[in-house]
Amino acid sequence: MEGYNRDPAGPAALLRNDGLTERRCFIPGSDSILIWSCPSVSRLRLTVAVPGSTIRSVTVLVVGATGATGRLLVRQLLHRGLTVKVVVRSPDKLPGDVRSHSNLSVIQASVLDLSDAEMAHHVNGCDAAASCLGHNLNLKGIYGPPRMLVTGATRRLCHAIKANKPDKPVRFVLMNTAGNSNRDITEKVSFGQRCVMALIRLLVPPQLDNERAADYLRVKIGQNDGAIEWAAVRPDSLIDESEVTQYEVYSSPIRSALFNAGKTSRINVANFMADLITDDDKWGKWRGQMPVIYNKASS
Ligand SMILES: NC(=O)c1ccc[n+]([C@@H]2O[C@H](COP(=O)([O-])OP(=O)(O)OC[C@H]3O[C@@H](n4cnc5c(N)ncnc54)[C@H](OP(=O)(O)O)[C@@H]3O)[C@@H](O)[C@H]2O)c1
Mutate to test the pocket of ligand 1, among 61, 87, 89 (most ligand atoms within 8 A of CB): 89
pTM of the model: 0.86
- Is 64 touching ligand 1 by the criterion CB < 6 Å? yes
Q: How far is the CA of 195 from the centre of ligand 1 (A)?
A: 25
- Is 104 touching ligand 1 by the criterion CB < 6 Å? no
- Is 111 touching ligand 1 by the criterion CB < 6 Å? yes
- Is 152 touching ligand 1 by the criterion CB < 6 Å? no
CA distances from 298 to 18, 155, 158, 178, 238 (A): 34, 33, 34, 14, 12
- Is 210 touching ligand 1 by the criterion CB < 6 Å? yes
What's the chain's length in residues?
Answer: 299
pLDDT of 57 reads: 83
Contact (CB, 8 A) for 233 and 174: yes
pLDDT of 297 reads: 78
pLDDT of 51 reads: 59
pLDDT of 8 reads: 42
Strands (E), 100-220: 104-108, 128-131, 170-175
pLDDT of 20 reads: 45
Atom of ligand 1 nearest to the CA of 88: 40
In this structure, what DSSP letter does residue 53 have?
A: -
Q: How far is the CA of 80 from the centre of ligand 1 (A)?
A: 24
47's CB contacts (< 8 A; 6+ apart) are 34, 35, 36, 55
pLDDT of 73 reads: 98
Contact (CB, 8 A) for 88 and 108: yes
Atom of ligand 1 nearest to the CA of 89: 40
The pLDDT profile of the chain, 299 residues, written as one tens digit per residue, is: 344 444 444 444 343 434 444 566 656 656 555 566 555 454 455 555 555 555 558 999 999 999 999 999 999 999 999 999 999 999 999 999 999 999 999 999 999 999 999 999 999 999 999 999 999 999 999 999 999 999 999 999 999 999 999 999 999 999 999 999 999 999 999 999 999 999 999 999 999 999 999 999 999 999 999 999 999 999 999 999 999 999 999 999 999 999 999 999 999 999 999 999 999 999 999 999 999 999 997 65
pLDDT of 13 reads: 37
- Is 69 touching ligand 1 by the criterion CB < 6 Å? yes
The protein residue with its alpha carbon nearest to ligand 1, atom 47, reads 134
Contact (CB, 8 A) for 82 and 60: yes
Rounded to a whole number of angstroms, the CA Rg of the chain reads 20
Q: Which helix (H) or strand (E) holds 198?
A: helix 191-203
CA distance 258 to 219: 25
CA distance 92 to 69: 16
End-to-end Cα distance, the chain: 42
CA distance 217 to 287: 11
Q: How far is the CA of 206 from the centre of ligand 1 (A)?
A: 10
CB atoms within 10 A of CB 222: 12
pLDDT of 230 reads: 98
CA distance 269 to 97: 20
- Is 205 touching ligand 1 by the criterion CB < 6 Å? no
